[in-house]
Amino acid sequence: MPHIAIIGSGFAALTAVRELRKRHVAAYITVISPRDALHYIPSSIWIPAGLRKGEALKLPLGRFFARHQVRYLAASVTGLNAERREITTDTGEVISAEHILIAAGGRFLRKLPGIENAIIPCEGIASAEAMAARLAELDGGTIAIGMATNPKEPGAIRGGPMFEYAFILDTLLRKQGRRDRFRITFFSPSPRPGQRLGEKAVDGILAEMTRRGFDTHLGHKMVRIDPDRVVTEGGEIPADLILFQPGMTGLPWFGDTDLPLSPGGMIRADALCRVEGCEGVWVAGDSGSYPGPEWLPKQAHQADLQAKAAAANIADALAGKAPSTPFTAELICIMDSLDKGMLVFRRGRINLILPALKPLHWLKRAFEHHYLRAYR
């Protein structure tokens, strides 16, 4: 049987496994990743409020791999030769495959001086736990929450969770009866952060910040982050807790391969998730740079859609058919505030925004339960 190698163990990688088996693809599948657990980062927003525990969001994948007849290789990828379709790992093992799917995710830029003084929430569950611990230590002060993008690839941004953290922390502090002791400042180099969600959504977000009594520091280029302040070209924000989400780029090993890279360091792909000029090599999720609308998101839902398209096209290629399934460009976000949620949906010319409603908070929690059933 042919061999399919999948790099990664996150949303895109696991969705690809499910889709390939759903299509009854007769192939050996190897998943290469240093981690044999799915970390459900979307729900880490609830860790500071105690609605979720970090360990409960780490789902072991041993049974999932066994059910889908997948060989798991515990290793980190150190290189890839696209022409020969060979993957090298830190264990010294070299994996050859007829098809390679790169679903290894991306990383956050750390070029800003002093960025180690900030917590980067989406780096992992440990970041949310560190935030919760620091918040519990504070009796008052200023919480600075901000985000930026990759200047070489404006689409490489994951900003939605930062709005969620801002609104969730505000709601949490109010429930604890100590909101009056805290100042919350939202900052961004963009004068209108969140534009990928749509202009109406940005208007709603900024209006909600005003309603909740936030300060905003927008439209100023960042200079550095000190232990007790955020410094921009427009001034300084003294802070006791700093949450900052920088732009994204590709993994370090991408640059040591023959893969084509975008200006922002991602792997260039077409609408079918094929890596440009590399037959039998595919990409899904945050590792890639794709054609599409300017609002094309970096989020788990979009990674799933790209993985589905890649799996369909790999299945066709193995069956001797021409790949023909493009991924769907779609943004779905329930922006949670601990007790309510605001829905944002984009596809084609459709841009739907629903105001903050209690049922949407419960819908987001119900979706988590539904999504994770496949891995529990």
The CATH number of the domain where 223 resides is what? 3.50.50.60
**Which pLDDT belongs to residue 276?**
97
Residue 353 domain-assigned? no
Residues 274, 240 share a domain: no
Residues 240, 140 share a domain: yes
Coil, strand or helix: which one is 72? strand
Instruction: Round to whole Å and give the CA distance between 114 and 149.
Output: 17
Categorize the per-residue pLDDT at 159 as very low, low, confident or very high, splitting at 50, 70 and 90.
confident
Categorize the per-residue pLDDT at 21 as very low, low, confident or very high, splitting at 50, 70 and 90.
very high
Looking up tokens 């525990």 gives 53
**Which pLDDT belongs to residue 355?**
92
Residue 101 domain-assigned? yes
**The two three-digit tokens of residue 371, written as one number:** 């999504």
Proportion of the chain above pLDDT 90, given as a percent: 98
The count of domains in the chain is: 2
Instruction: Round to whole Å and give the CA distance between 95 and 80.
Output: 9
CA 156 to chain centre: 10
Residue 348 domain-assigned? no
Mean pLDDT over 298-305 rounds to 96
Instruction: Output helix, strand, coil percentages for the chain, rounded to the nearest 5.
Output: 35, 30, 35
Instruction: Round to whole Å and give the CA distance between 171 and 166.
Output: 9
**Which pLDDT belongs to residue 185?**
98
Mean pLDDT over 145-153 rounds to 95
Residue pLDDT, tens place only, 112-140: 999 999 999 999 999 999 999 999 999 99
Residue 93 domain-assigned? yes
Residues 236, 155 share a domain: yes
Domain boundary (318, 333, 357) is at: 318
Instruction: Round to whole Å and give the CA distance between 86 and 75.
Output: 15
Sign of the alpha-carbon dihedral angle for 269, 273, 274, 280: positive
**The two three-digit tokens of residue 324, written as one number:** 């023909």
The answer to whether 8 touches 103, Cβ cutoff 8 Å, is yes
Domain boundary (221, 247, 273) is at: 247
**Which pLDDT belongs to residue 36?**
96
Residue 126 domain-assigned? no
Looking up tokens 């790992």 gives 89
Residues 150, 58 share a domain: no
Residues 94, 22 share a domain: yes
Residue pLDDT, tens place only, 170-219: 999 999 999 999 999 999 999 999 999 999 999 999 999 999 999 999 99
Residue 332 domain-assigned? no
Residues 208, 174 share a domain: yes
Of 169 and 159, more confident = 169
Residue 331 domain-assigned? no
Count Cβ neighbours within 10 Å for each residue of 224-252 and write b for 16 or more, e otherwise. Answer: ebeeebbbbeeeebebbbbbbbbbbbbbe
Residue 344 domain-assigned? no
Mean pLDDT of the chain: 96
Residue 376 has pLDDT above 90, yes or no: no
Residues 227, 298 share a domain: no
Residues 231, 165 share a domain: yes
Residue pLDDT, tens place only, 61-101: 999 999 999 999 999 999 999 999 999 999 999 999 999 99
Domain boundary (318, 334, 353) is at: 318
Of 95, 114, 105, nearest in space to 35 by CA = 105
Residues 140, 239 share a domain: yes
Of 247, 245, 159, nearest in space to 202 by CA = 159
Residues 227, 146 share a domain: yes
Residues 230, 164 share a domain: yes
Range of the domain at 168: 134-247
Coil, strand or helix: which one is 109? coil
Residues 75, 21 share a domain: yes
The answer to whether 91 touches 272, Cβ cutoff 8 Å, is no
Residue pLDDT, tens place only, 238-272: 999 999 999 999 999 999 999 999 999 999 999 99
Q: Which residues contact 74 (CB under 8 A, 6 or more apart)?
A: 33, 34, 36, 91
